[in-house]
Structure 1
């Protein structure tokens, strides 16, 4: 799918959601945020809104859902007349007449109107509530899509890391797709981190089943409280986690990085997940240095200063990078 078509489908999904009963102020705020986050979003929404309005004009008395909201006005008018139902035969026929060549893409979107996209920027984390009562907390630079209805609950973790607090529903298991991995739960708390070539799952409470679609004949791995699995294309590595280990894995929810005698190379890679200013290690000796402690995720300059003062490393800071190097003996004058 092209980026353009993806944005078109997102805009159509927003229009379809707004078209139903029960549109809330919280949903309006999410729509405002999506529209104002990119010019392409605003253009797609305006164009499709105009298409729906033209379709509605073919039905006497119908009013379209697509009026563009003001950037700061989230109020919803009580008792406002609702447009035709989104699956109205008249609306579908009218849309065919108006959209002509774009009908195929539009109907593909309307077939999956319940899919909602959630995304965080570099260095941010944010909590979202799903309509089934579940809560998702997204870590830095994370993209997640959710489709939750009365018949099923599925989430796709396209990139990044998320913490899940899932509402119990024995009739509708909650499924998370991360690459080739499928994580299934009924009601529990767990975190998933998707990296290049691996998916990490750690359970805080409850029970989780992890299936790896990349390994032939691989049996599902069952995780319970304080257990973890790392799923790659060749293996499923399961382990137990201590209270301290769980705290370290989830410290990002408090805006912290907690290290327990990790290499500086690893610590730098973690800081680089959250900051535009990158930590660069100039030599192998500096990279293998062991470090521990608790640090604010956005205080990369303070971390570098600690390395300089506490470990005697050389630090060179520019607008974009902080280069860390082992201190070399200075030649005698």
Structure 2
């Protein structure tokens, strides 16, 4: 295999290898030796990395395919494969064959369009294939798939402001963490960090559930309302927002901390950081912090905290900055 020109057979072999590695790295029994072998394969040729990234996007689409319940499939190569591994194979075939893709669209199994967006160092505005407008905050990663019965966004990480094209017959669903947000046409913001999700509604209405596996569409939000949930929550927590709420300050390049305890402030800060800030102990989390910060300069925030708070910084073995409280001197008797 030359570096400059590849035959059709060589391209096919790379695609097959990318599909194999995609399935193996997602398998529960993937070994350290296999991960090392994948790393060597991934770095051996630029096309390997390109084809693997393309296969990951197919994997994301396959996540939404229905799980087969009664279909019996003969074993191929391995004794057993998960339904999702077969979905990847089905997705590859369906995306490659127009007739299969058309059938998959009519059954609601496959999208007729798929988009992947990221924003790293700058806020980014994008338009989805349905005409909806999105604004992506820094360090955001999401995908959009247009299915026959609904439009689906998966927010992998970060934050996005949505202005959704109105279509009552074609609901718009955002998957974030274990929950989902269901709308037909509205304006709202979704923030996700690790397993925490926060939804702010600006206009219209949305239905929010904290666990997509539960029956029903969840709780309804009206304008100026917020929903929060995290992994394991049975129901989202609903609250009213107030005029001047700082949740959307990121759209102006700012992070506003309104006298928050560090326990609440760190998730808002850490999603912007290369190395997240850690707390030395639970009592440190009760220290309060405020201020307005430029979201592009938050990596410098750790060094400024000891100037404004009674804390000092150390680093743990992973290199993360750790916030430690300065012991208070006992009052003189």
Length-normalised TM-score, structure 2? 0.59
Query: Post-superposition shift, 1:4?
Result: 3.6
| C-alpha separation in 1, matches of 2:192 and 2:94 | 28
1:107 aligns with 2:107: no
Residue 249 to residue 39, structure 1, CA distance change in 2 (3 Å):
farther
Query: Post-superposition shift, 1:108?
Result: 3.2
Hey, what does 1:294 align to over in structure 2? 292
Query: Given the alignment, which residue of 127, 130, 133 partners 1:135?
Result: 133
Query: Post-superposition shift, 1:241?
Result: 0.8
Hey, what does 1:256 align to over in structure 2? 254
Length-normalised TM-score, structure 1? 0.59
Query: Post-superposition shift, 1:199?
Result: 3.6
1:221 aligns with 2:219: yes
Higher relative contact order (CA 8 A, sep 6+): 1
1:42 aligns with 2:50: yes
Q: Confirm or deny: 8 A CA contact 1:215 1:235 kept in the other structure.
A: no
Unaligned 5+ residue runs, structure 1? 9-37, 48-101
| C-alpha separation in 2, matches of 1:189 and 1:3 | 42
Note the alpha carbon deviations across 1:46-80, whole angstroms, 9 max, x for none: 99xxxxxxxxxxxxxxxxxxxxxxxxxxxxxxxxx
Query: Given the alignment, which residue of 148, 166, 174 partners 2:164?
Result: 166
| C-alpha separation in 1, matches of 2:150 and 2:282 | 50
Query: Post-superposition shift, 1:119?
Result: 2.7
Count of residues paired in the alignment: 244
Residue 185 to residue 7, structure 1, CA distance change in 2 (3 Å):
farther
| C-alpha separation in 1, matches of 2:19 and 2:293 | 41
List aligned pairs for 1:19-38, cutoff 5 A.
none
> What CA RMSD, in Å, does the superposition of the two structures yield over aligned residues?
3.9
Larger radius of gyration: 1
Hey, what does 1:186 align to over in structure 2? 184
Secondary structure of 2:278's aligned partner: strand
Residue 6 to residue 254, structure 1, CA distance change in 2 (3 Å):
farther
| C-alpha separation in 2, matches of 1:195 and 1:146 | 19
Unaligned 5+ residue runs, structure 2? 1-15, 23-45, 56-87, 102-110
Secondary structure of 1:268's aligned partner: helix
Query: Post-superposition shift, 1:217?
Result: 5.5
